[in-house]
Amino acid sequence: MEKLEEAKRWLAQARRDLKAARDSLSAGNYEWACFQAHQAAEKGLKALFHGLGEGAWGHSLTSLLETLSRTYPDPQALLTRARELGRHYIPSRHPSAFESGYPGMYYDEETASRAIEHAGVILKWAEEKLGELGLGG
């Protein structure tokens, strides 16, 4: 598939994931908002990889950004946000991540709001870089 089309597919889903995170926040499903925020950031970064004609594997936002730093010097500023989002990848969905209870017991509105903010910043950065490649939209 052409890199433009693949980048657009990933970017479209990233935007939907961010919307889903906001919807989950509104519904009080804070753990899901955090996971969906992570997914939005991950798919936004993977859209950029596709735009560059490269593949990207894995779910670590910090690893994805570190790889992108070979092309773009500025993702370093996003690493703190990526690290925080990365902490939600598994615990937001798996009861075994906690000694007792279930994920919904450990997430709150403040945490979910912060995750959505971080994802929005990372996604916006990826969109800007895609735009520089002529692949925005």
Six-digit token string for 132: 């520089």
Q: Is residue 100 part of a domain?
A: yes
Q: Is residue 45 part of a domain?
A: yes
Q: Is residue 90 part of a domain?
A: yes
Angle at 82 between CA 34 and CA 131, to 5 degrees: 100
Rg of the Cα atoms in the chain: 15
Quote the pLDDT of residue 136: 62
Six-digit token string for 107: 């997430």
Domain carrying residue 60? 3-132
Band of the pLDDT at 73, cuts 50, 70, 90? confident
Q: Is residue 128 part of a domain?
A: yes
Quote the pLDDT of residue 86: 96
Q: Is residue 137 part of a domain?
A: no
The predicted-structure confidence for 77-107, as pLDDT tens digits, reads as follows: 799 999 999 999 999 999 999 999 999 999 9
Question: Does 48 score more than 80 pLDDT?
Answer: yes
Quote the pLDDT of residue 77: 78
> Which domain CATH number covers 28?
1.20.120.330
Number of domains in the chain: 1
Question: Does 43 score more than 80 pLDDT?
Answer: yes
DSSP label of 127: H
Q: How far is Cα 19 from Cα 22, in angstroms, rounded to an integer?
A: 5
Q: What is the pTM of this model?
A: 0.94
DSSP label of 54: -
Q: Is residue 109 part of a domain?
A: yes
Contact between 126 and 45 under an 8 Å Cβ cutoff? The reply is yes
More confident residue, 76 or 39: 39
The predicted-structure confidence for 8-24, as pLDDT tens digits, reads as follows: 999 999 999 999 999 99
Instruction: Please name the residues in contact with 9: beta carbons below 8 A apart, sequence gap of 6 or more.
Output: 47
> What average pLDDT does the chain have?
94
- When pLDDT is averaged across residues 130-134 and rounded to a whole number, the result is 91
Q: Is residue 125 part of a domain?
A: yes
Q: How far is Cα 116 from Cα 95, in angstroms, rounded to an integer?
A: 22
